[in-house]
Amino acid sequence: MNIAAVDYDGLIPNNVGLGQDVRVKRALEKWHPGYINWWKDMGPEGFQESLVYLRTAVSVDPKGWAKFDYVRMPEYRWGVLLAPQHDGRRIPFGTHKGEDAWQEVPGEYRAMLRRLVVIQGDTEPASVEQQRHLGKTAPSLYDMRNLFQVNVEEGRHLWAMVYLLQKYFGTDGREEAEALLERRSGDPDTPRMLGAFNEKTPDWLSFFMFTYFTDRDGKMQLEALAQSGFDPLSRTCRFMLTEEAHHMFVGETGVTRVIQRTCEAMKQAGIEDPYDIARVRKLGVIDLPTIQKKANLHFSLTLDLFGNEISTNAANAFHAGLKGRFREDRLKDDHQLESGTYPVLRLIDGQIKNEDAPALSALNMRLRDDYVVDCNVGVGRWNKVIADLGIPFEIKLPHVAFHRHIGEFSRTNVDVDGNILSPAEWTERRTAYLPSESDKDFIESLMQPQFEPAKFASWIAPPKVGIDNKPGDFEYVKIADA
């Protein structure tokens, strides 16, 4: 079988030989109608009949894996795609390091592995649910198309995890696959599993921040799972990472374009003080301090997704060879970590201090540290746009202890610089750090749809280049066909 080519003949495009795997094919075909019902109920609201210029994976060859065409979203070909198998691959870390990678689920780790797959799977439909109302207020057809691209690919990532569940986890896997369609983001009775995926994505600035910060957690977690000794999971995540890159591009360039428009409008109006918020807002753009507050919110919510700083779950998953570190294959150590230590930021006697912890227990912390480094790269690019336009302002990531709900700092109040606050101080200053109701109302007031090709809402600059090199007036979504 040529793994790079995708079989498009059946209901479910795939490069895993589904045609010859009758049991799994039937199971997935049975799951399919429930998925389509979920997509129609919980996927993008409206626009389901519109023609959207989407990319679809047609190969897993990194040099040319996607084709672009107009598609109605419910007819998108969601498929099961794994990156090519590496002959002779060995388990790269943990107590089984050096043994042949598993092609079947190792019995002793079945429950742990299933939990990792289910948590990963749960985030994918959750994000689609969070973003389902945004189409109506898209600032351009270009942005609307990017939203829908992200949505259909998150849907595909759900398929990726459901394939693993159906193929490798028998009856339990089938039940988990059903449950993935039953939980709902933000539902008080059946919420999604992780906190940040139950928050609202109420406006487009939130969407860009989410795809910048939260999809980047996706990248880190997928990188860690791509190292897995369970080879089908590794191969699945490797291909998902190819798609994930575009999601973070949408986030990074989205925020860049918002910042650029604000700074350009300020310059044009002769406003030099970025804190002259009322005047800036009158220009129909989002002031930089409010953009900073949104970054504070989404960064801190996303840090919670790394779990507790000290985690036995993380230690067990590494020891077992199931979940590695960020780019484990590029690290130079024994890949077993039985004796090393890692500095963990903790709350000790009312102060935030580093304390060495066993490296195995500190793996969530370490992944989070790698994440913060990765986040800062794009923030640097945002600041360059601001500096180039001559505005005295810098976006800064808040301290990692700020506004936390999981882990070491969840029971204390900390400001963006890492100073501990009393509950009263926190209540008083909260809206200096996080969007207030009036900030939210202002942003909402700007969320007016702009559905004419080549036009953009007042608060966002056009992109530098089109998707698939299309010209500026390209009709990325044909709404009229709805």
Residues that bind ligand BYC (CB under 6 A): 116, 119-120, 123-124, 127, 154, 194-195, 214-215, 217-218, 221, 304-308, 311, 313-314, 323, 364, 406
Q: Which of 365, 361, 313 is nearest to 344 (CA)?
A: 365
Interatomic CA distance for residues 344 and 307, integer angstroms: 13
- Measured from the CB atom, is 214 or 260 closer to ligand BYC? 214
Q: What share of residues in the chain are helix, strand, coil (percent, to 5)?
A: 50, 10, 40
In angstroms, give the least distance from the CB of 256 to ligand BYC. Answer: 19
State which residue, 126 or 266, has the beta carbon closest to ligand BYC. Answer: 126
From the CB of 194, what's the least distance to ligand BYC, in Å? Answer: 4
Rounded to 10°, the helix 110-130/141-168 angle is 160
Nearer Cβ to ligand BYC (206/450): 206
Of 266 and 322, nearer to ligand BYC (C-beta) is: 322
Residue type, 473: D
Please state, in angstroms and rounded to a whole number, the distance separating the CA atoms of residues 302 and 299: 5
- The nearer residue to ligand BYC, 221 or 260, going by C-beta atoms, is 221
Residues 6+ apart with CB under 8 A from 253: 463, 464
- Least distance from ligand BYC to the Cβ atom of residue 207, Å: 11
In the complex, minimum distance from the CB of residue 173 to ligand BYC, in angstroms, rounded to a whole number: 16
User: Least distance to ligand BYC from the beta carbon of 406, Å?
Assistant: 5
353: β partners = 346
25 vs 156, beta carbon nearer ligand BYC: 156
Amino acid at 480: A
Q: If you write DSSP's letter for every residue of 1-52 in order, what string do you get?
A: --TTB-B-SSSS-BSS-GGG-HHHHHHHHHHHHHHHHHHHHHS-SS-TTSEE
Q: Taking the complex as a whole, how short is the minimal distance between the CB of residue 263 and ligand BYC, in angstroms? A: 28
Residue closer to ligand BYC by CB (options 244, 439) is 244
Instruction: Measure the CA–CA gap between 52 and 79, rounded to whole angstroms.
Output: 18
Per DSSP, the three-state class of 225 is helix
Distances 362 to 72, 213, 273, 304, 343 between C-alpha atoms, Å: 45, 22, 43, 15, 8
Minimum Å gap between C-beta 175 and ligand BYC is 18
235: left (phi over 0), alpha (psi -120 to 50) or beta: alpha
Least distance (Å) from ligand BYC to the CB of residue 206? 13
Strands 351-358 and 477-478, how do they pair? unpaired
Closer residue to ligand BYC, CB minimum distance, 316 or 436: 316
Shortest-Cβ-distance residue relative to ligand BYC? 307
